[in-house]
Amino acid sequence: MTGRSCSSMLRLHVLLFTFLGCSSLALLPSVAGPAMVEEAASGQNIFSCSEDSNVVPSFTEERGGEGRARKMLLGNQRDDIPDFKQLKMLPSLTMVQRRELKAALESTRAQMQVLLTKMKQLRPKSEGARSAGRPGGIVDPQVRAQILQLRTQIQALRTKSWEEIKPKLTQGQLIELAAMRKGELQPATFNEPMTGGGRQ
C-alpha cells in the first residue's frame, strides 16, 4: 500500500454526485504547478450512464455466434413456428408427444441437413461483407439470391414439420411455450422440502 491517508480516500469515494452543465474547455495545468484542489462537495459523475441516470441497464445486440447464424437461416421474418429445440424443453410434454415430435423432425432431417450445410458454406462469403464494414447487407447479388432461396426452402421444411406436430399439442401447451420463453413457466426442477430426511 502506498502511504495515502484513509481520509482522502474516503473523501474521493463519498463525493456526492449531481449533474453539472457543460463547462468551457480548459487545459490541464502543469504537472509541477500548484495543486488547485477544487474540493467540490458535488461533482458530475465520472461516467455518463451512471447509476444516477435513469437508464435501465441493457445488453447491446449480441455479436457473432448463435444469433447471427440463426438470423442467417431465418432472415428477418417473424413466424409463429416455435423453435423445435424449445419445444423439447416443455415440462408438460408427454413421452408420446416427444416421440411424435422426434418422428416429425426425422422425416425432414436429411433434407434439412443438406440445406444447412449449403447455408454454412455461404457464411464466409457474407461475413466478408460484414467485416469490410458494410452493415447487414450482403453485397454479392448472386450470394444474396442463393441465401434467399435457401431460406425459402428451410422455411418450407419447418412449416411441414410444424403442420405435423401442431395438432399433437394442446392449446394450453402452446401458451406454455410462450410463457417458458419468458421464464414464466415453473421449470421442471425438483424443489421440495425433504420429507423425514431418510433413515439415519
Partner 1 sequence: MTGGKSDVFWINHLLRRAGFGVTPRELKRYVALGYDGTVNELLNPENVDNMQLEESIKQQDFDYTAINDLKRWWIYRMAFTRCPLEEKMTLFWHGHFATSDRKVNNAYAMYGQNMLFRKHALGNFHEILYNASKDPAMILWLDNQQNRKGKPNENYAREIMELFTLGIGNYSEQDIKEAARAFTGWQTLPSGFFFNQRQHDYGAKTVLGVSGNLNGDDVVAILVKQKETSKFLATKLIKYFAFDDPDPAMVSRIADVYMTSKYNMRKVVRAILTDPAFLSERAFHAKIKSPAELVIGSLKTLQIRKLDGDLPMTMARMGQDLLMPPNVKGWDGGTAWIATDTMMERFNFANRVTTTKFSEMSKFSSAQEIVDNQGLTSAGKLVDYFLDLLVDADVPASTRAKLVSYVSSDLSGKPVSNIPDEKTLDAKLRGLVHLIMTLPTYQLA
Nearest distance in Å: CB 101, partner 1? 11
For the purposes of burial, counting CB atoms within 10 Å of the CB of 80, is it exposed (0-12), middle (13-18) or buried (19 or more)?
A: exposed
Question: Which residues contact residue 148 at a Cβ distance below 8 angstroms, ignoring those fewer than 6 apart?
Answer: 75
Nearer to partner 1, 10 or 156 (CB): 10
**98 close to 88: Cβ distance less than 8 angstroms:** yes
Residues in 177-196 at the binding interface with partner 1, rule: CB under 8 A: 180-183, 185, 187-194, 196
Q: How many Cα atoms occupy the beta-carbon half-sphere of 39 within 13 Å?
A: 8
Q: Is 15 in the site for partner 1 (CB under 8 A)?
A: yes
- Tracing cell 484513509 back to the chain, one arrives at 6
Nearest distance in Å: CB 68, partner 1? 11
Nearer to partner 1, 71 or 139 (CB): 71
Q: Is 132 in the site for partner 1 (CB under 8 A)?
A: no
Nearest distance in Å: CB 173, partner 1? 11
- DSSP class of 16: E
Nearer to partner 1, 35 or 141 (CB): 35
Residues in 64-83 at the binding interface with partner 1, rule: CB under 8 A: 64-67, 83
Size of the site for partner 1 (CB under 8 A): 83
